[in-house]
Chains A and B, each alone.
Chain A
Amino acid sequence: MDDLLDQYDLVLQAFWLTIQLSVLSGLCSLVLGTLLAAMRVGPVSVLRGVGTTYVTLVRNTPLLIIFVFIFVAAPNLGWFTDTAFLTLGVVTVSLYTSAFVCEAVRSGVNAVPLGQAEAARAIGLTFAQTMGSVVLPQAFRAVVPPLASVLIAMTKNTSIAAVFGLMELTGRMRYFSNNSADDTVIFLVFAALYIVLVELISAGAIVLERRWRAAR
């Protein structure tokens, strides 16, 4: 425990790195996942196939293996050798999470009442306009709860970056662990920091859900 108090700046740095990883990966995977979802429900057959293949492959691969591709195999080919670890971590986590975001958004699109989309094309909107101004804004409402659980899982998944040398919360706990009775306290402190992040996301989801439900 004394170690933690003496070097609290290291703990805070690790917390900040986890926050950076989560926020940046969250934003990237929301954008990527929405694009993928648009591809999967769109009219162009090849793009639909690409979207479906990507989602199937990525959802069934462990995140750790994707980390191996980006952090071990790619530098071995001479790629990303000068890239910051944070960037690589964000790329990896986003590639993985976007497949799940895609599925969540797609199920949200399915939840939008048919009449809405029919009305949109009845007044002559194109596919892009139908998606952009009618379906997606409503789908995001239906999609808040599943998206929140995807983002919570993603925040927890950033811990795998520790395996590949990022000193975020999990890597820091490994550093402080010293085979003594203190380990339990250290574990609980780091677990509490993760729980804070998880609770923040679910609180945000509850607020969004409440606000958007009123707007409907």
Chain B
Amino acid sequence: MNTSTVLFDTPGPRTRARHRLYALVSGVVLIGLLAWLVWYLYDQGELEYDLWEPFLTPAYLEVLWQGLLDTLAMAVLAILLAVVMGFVLGVGKLSDHRLVRWPSWLIVEFFRAVPLLLLIIFLFLGPAGLTSYWSVVVGLTLYNGAVLAEITRAGVLAVPKGQVEAAYALGMRKTQVMVSIQLPQAVKIMIPAIISQCIVALKDTSLGYYVLAPGLTTVGRQIWTEFGNQLQTALVLAATYIVCNLILTALATWAQRRLVGERKPIVHTIDPGMGQAGPGLS
């Protein structure tokens, strides 16, 4: 909140009164809007018990829980594969050999620029002919792997130069320097960025909806076709995603403080909420 005070003078009594008035007016307007919304939903019968019943019935809760587990499994699997792909391509982009560097660059740029949904549809319908589950996982892996390659590259470059020079001075070879000096330190710097990328992956598993992959959104569609409770289902799904992502954000913030200290996150271009770990834009 440091900047919010530098933008305007420390308010005097009259300004404070004015701000209180603004706060009061906007508060009243806000409460009015919320009250109207609740009244409107009530009036439309959207708060009827029937429409919320599936979310209190054990059988349906079990289906939703299974959907959540599928979603989490897809996200975790994709991130694990993507970390491997990211390491390979990220180190590849730093290679001294053009034949390694250029293909790595091409793959990273291609999968970063292509929309994930286009990729998933291609994997699902195209010659690869993957099942819906694997087309989502492979699509997520390719996209997040390309992003993590950039994170890996930035992480390796963020390791202090002296470390590398000292390693060479000890007589280590290029691969040894990379594997035993640069990467272990890079991983530590990268962990918050990797957790942020998990949030992106988790959000993107929702795209499984289009190819009917198992997961929260597909389960949601089944529920609202059966009960006609589109709004309620969407609210429950959104709440589920938000809770999961907030837990991951807290984890990323903790990891940031614990592992990286006060240093800024290394990847500025991917996470628009600079200076803090948080959900990025896919």
Binding site for B on A (CB under 8 A): 41-48, 50, 56-57, 59-65, 68-69, 72-73, 76-78, 97, 100-101, 103-104, 107, 109-110, 114, 117-118, 121, 126-127, 130-131, 135, 145-146, 149-150, 152-154, 156-157, 159-160, 162-163, 169-170, 173-174, 177, 179, 181, 183-184, 187, 190-191, 194-195, 198-199
Contact = CB atoms under 8 A, between A and B. Distances in A.
Contacts of B44: 77-78
A200 to B, nearest CB: 11
Given A59-B279, A65-B241, A153-B282, A146 B268 contact: yes
Contact of B242 (A61, A169, A184): A61
A46 B27 contact: yes
A46 B23 contact: yes
B130 interface: no
Contacts of A76: 228, 230-231
A107 B209 CA distance: 34
Contacts of B242: 57, 60-61
Nearest to B8: A127
Contacts of B118: 159, 169-170, 173, 187, 190-191, 194
Given A69-B238, A76-B230, 18 more contacts: A46-B22, A60-B242, A61-B203, A63-B203, A65-B237, A77-B231, A104-B272, A118-B6, A121-B7, A149-B269, A149-B272, A153-B282, A157-B281, A159-B116, A170-B115, A170-B118, A173-B122, A179-B126
* Majority SS at the chain B contact face: helix
A73 B228 CA distance: 9
A174 B121 contact: yes
Nearest to B273: A103
A145 B230 contact: no
Nearest to B275: A107
Interface residues of B, number: 59
A43 B18 CA distance: 10
A78 B224 CA distance: 16
B182 interface: no
A121 B8 contact: yes
Interface in B125-168: 125-127
Given A60-B246, A135-B7, A150 B272 contact: yes
B107 interface: no
Contact of B234 (A60, A65, A103, A145): A65
13 contacts: A44-B19, A45-B23, A46-B22, A56-B246, A62-B206, A63-B282, A68-B230, A76-B231, A152-B113, A157-B115, A183-B125, A184-B127, A191-B113
Contact of B269 (A78, A118, A145, A163): A145
Interface in B244-261: 245-246, 249
Contacts of A162: 117, 210
Interface of B: 3-4, 6-9, 11, 19, 22-23, 26-27, 30, 44, 46, 110, 113-118, 121-122, 125-127, 199, 203-204, 206-207, 209-210, 217, 220, 224, 228, 230-231, 234, 237-238, 241-242, 245-246, 249, 268-270, 272-275, 278-279, 281-282
Q: Shortest 10 CB-CB distances between A and B: which pairs?
A: A159-B115, A62-B206, A183-B126, A60-B245, A153-B281, A156-B115, A73-B231, A64-B206, A73-B230, A62-B203
